[in-house]
Amino acid sequence: MILKNTIKEYRQKKSLTQEELAFKAGVSRQTIISIERYRYKPSLELAMKIALCLQIKIDVLFYFE
């Protein structure tokens, strides 16, 4: 099972750039890039922050495949 996410999809729906989302979540742009590419698994705290920034439920944003 791989932890995947729909951050890119919802970020684009909100017309946010990676830089803007990174700023809102208080992380670097590289971290957002890594998460979107499934290279880095964020902590629960960061995952919730991103979900909050995108106004999406965390279980919609992150899922197992």
Partner 1 sequence: MALSKKEISILIEIVFSIVFAFIFLPYFYENQDNNLILMDDLIGKIIEILIFTVIYFSIAYSLLEFVFKKKEAKDERDDMINSKSYKLGYLLYEFSLFIFIGYVCSKFQNKELLNLTGNQELYNNFNLTDAGVVFLILILLAFISIVKSLYQFYLYRTV
Question: Which parts of this chain interact with partner 1 (CB under 8 A)?
Answer: 22-23, 26-28, 30-31, 34, 39-40, 42-43, 45-46
Q: Residue 54 CB, nearest distance to partner 1 (Å)?
A: 17
Task: Decide whether 45 or 65 has the Cβ nearer to partner 1.
Answer: 45
Q: Residue 9 CB, nearest distance to partner 1 (Å)?
A: 21
Count CB-CB contacts under 10 A for residue 3. Answer: 13
Task: Decide whether 23 or 58 has the Cβ nearer to partner 1.
Answer: 23
Helix ranges (H only) for 7-65 are 7-13, 18-25, 29-36, 44-54, 58-61
User: What is the spatial distance between Cα 64 and Cα 20, in angstroms, rounded to a whole number?
Assistant: 26
